[in-house]
Amino acid sequence: MPRYELEYPKDATNLVKRDGDRGVYSLRRIHELVNASHFLHVSLNIPGLPFPACLPMIGQMGSFERPSADLGDPLDLYIHGYATSRLFRTGREGGTEGVPVCVSTTHLDGLVLSLSAFNSSYNYRSVVLFGHATIVEDPEEKLFALELITNSVVPGRWKQSRQPPTNAELQSTGVLRVRIASGSLKYRTGGVEDDKHDLENEDELNSIWTGVVPVHQVFGDALPSSYNRLETPAYISEYTRELTTGNETYAQTNAKEI
């Protein structure tokens, strides 16, 4: 274990102002949540478009320079997509400095139903990352990123699928590397909260149900394709079962009052 956990420095960009005690700057916790996200929302300004764009993409944190780096280390975000899409065209025009982007992801963990609508809330975890995106040109780095992203669907899937990728596949797939400038995580856990004047109101207490509905994502039994010839391998069935159990445990545990 390292002596201390690295944090993204707090500044005007990433500071969690409202409910500041729910803000987290730990690289490890931020990177963990990003890598546990199947979709990331990537926002950027596209030349000629009168609105910012916010596009769902698939990505993972990693380090090509130091593949053994762990989630608590400084990492880059790799995003993949179709090489001819607007995101990648814009990335190509960003030069060496890169295109300023914001990447965010949110997980819902519970519905928090208080006496007042105002104190009602969600249990959730969200990350916002800021950085500069450039196109990955180095073929080695591109393969590193594609393996990283494929293994985020099911760990080990890259080696378990047909290798190597064809030239046509590599040409039509683009990879962006986002150098992270700043980031933060915000969350809510726990039970309901209410104001004193509501908690002292007998009519409210006698008529309004209060509590938390925990919410979690379930990965169901794998459904084989019509041309599949194999039993479901353990690396798939065990992973999806563990993911589901972990999600349920998290939502249940964190729905409780402290």
Dihedral (Cα; 90, 96, 102, 106), 10-degree rounding: 100
- Which one of 103, 135, 148, 175 is in contact with its own copies (CB under 8 A)? 103
**178 lies in the site for its own copies, by CB under 8 A:** no
Pick the closest to residue 31 from 127, 118, 99, 163 (CA basis): 127
Is-contact 99 174, C-beta < 8 A? no
**111 lies in the site for its own copies, by CB under 8 A:** yes
**92 lies in the site for its own copies, by CB under 8 A:** no
Is-contact 64 144, C-beta < 8 A? yes
**222 lies in the site for its own copies, by CB under 8 A:** yes
Q: How many CA atoms lie less than 13 Å away from 164 in the CB half-sphere?
A: 9
**104 lies in the site for its own copies, by CB under 8 A:** yes
Quote the CA–CA distance of 100 and 112 in Å, as a whole number: 35
- Which one of 67, 156, 233, 246 is in contact with its own copies (CB under 8 A)? 233
Nearer to its own copies, 72 or 134 (CB): 134
Please report, as residue ranges, which positions from 24 to 53 form the binding site for its own copies (by CB under 8 A).
Answer: 38-39, 41-45, 48-53
- Which one of 63, 141, 181, 188 is in contact with its own copies (CB under 8 A)? 181
Is-contact 182 13, C-beta < 8 A? yes
Amino acid identity of residue 45, one-letter, is N
**209 lies in the site for its own copies, by CB under 8 A:** yes
Quote the CA–CA distance of 170 and 6 in Å, as a whole number: 35
**196 lies in the site for its own copies, by CB under 8 A:** no
**6 lies in the site for its own copies, by CB under 8 A:** no
**56 lies in the site for its own copies, by CB under 8 A:** yes
